[in-house]
């Protein structure tokens, strides 16, 4: 349940409208454009109204990032590969179609200089990895993944390539690329060895495994 679910309906509508305007500003003008003055102008609400809800610009940004991060998650169904692809695809979509990508770039640029932004950066990392960590931990518990898939390995091997491609090769950030990243992760950390071929003896290091499918 979201924070607005506990508010007076009029207050909730105001907050949602302002955050929607802030998101539009983020997408069209970038991190630096998200100021109280600019968002007030875009939303049609007075600055005093915004200051009642968000006394500091960082307060507004924190709620905006929380909203953006919430759409970057899927609902796991229990199949490891399917769940990993769905979660990473949700993240890819939020990075490219929503404002999460531009927000993350802005946070990263300011986190080293501003302790409050650094705190926001840490919170974003925790929230961003929440569902992915749960999927991996459950797979380790079921014996599908090696135990060393924990401790940040999933984030490094799954989220890292998506972020890199978003920053440097945005045209290549496709659904096929997401599937390729997931399959590489599973190849590295799967705890279940590939079944031997039933048509003949093992080919050893020179043999090839059955591909999962074209990407």
- Which carries the bigger pLDDT value, residue 198 or residue 188? 188
- Which carries the bigger pLDDT value, residue 82 or residue 94? 82
Please tell me the predicted confidence (pLDDT) of residue 133.
Answer: 92
* 84, 145: one domain: yes
CA dist., res. 76 & res. 140, Å (int): 15
* 89, 141: one domain: yes
The whole domain housing 169 covers 71-191
Separation in Å, CA 58 to CA 54, 73, 131, 163, 178: 8, 23, 25, 24, 32
HSE, CB side, 13 Å, CA atoms: give it for residue 54: 25
Closest by CA to 60, choosing from 127, 120, 114, is 120
CA dist., res. 169 & res. 194, Å (int): 33
Which of 65, 99, 114 lies at the terminal end of a domain, its last residue?
65
Whether the full predicted model's pTM is greater than 0.75, yes or no, is no
pLDDT per residue over 15-29, tens digit each?
999 999 998 898 888
Residue 1 in any domain: the answer is no
């Amino acid at each position: 349940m979201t924070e607005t679910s506990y508010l007076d309906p009029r207050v909730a509508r105001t907050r949602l409208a302002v955050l929607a305007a802030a998101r539009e500003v983020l997408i069209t003008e970038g991190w630096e454009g998200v100021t109280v003055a600019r968002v007030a102008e875009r939303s049609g609400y007075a600055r005093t109204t915004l200051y009642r809800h968000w006394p500091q610009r960082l307060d507004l940004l924190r709620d905006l990032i929380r909203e953006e991060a919430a759409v970057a998650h899927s609902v796991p169904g229990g199949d490891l590969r399917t769940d990993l692809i769905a979660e990473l695809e949700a993240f890819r979509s939020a990075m490219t179609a929503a404002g999460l990508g531009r927000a993350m770039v802005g946070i990263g640029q300011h986190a080293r200089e501003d302790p409050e932004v650094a705190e926001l950066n840490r919170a974003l990392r925790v929230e961003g990895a929440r569902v992915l960590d749960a999927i991996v931990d459950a797979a380790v518990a079921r014996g599908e993944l090696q135990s060393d898939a924990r401790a940040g390995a999933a984030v490094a091997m799954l989220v890292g390539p998506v972020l890199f491609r978003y920053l440097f090769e945005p045209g290549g950030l496709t659904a096929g690329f997401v599937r390729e990243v997931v399959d590489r992760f599973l190849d590295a950390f799967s705890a279940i060895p590939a079944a031997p071929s039933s048509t003949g003896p093992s080919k050893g290091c020179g043999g090839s495994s059955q591909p999962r499918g074209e990407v």
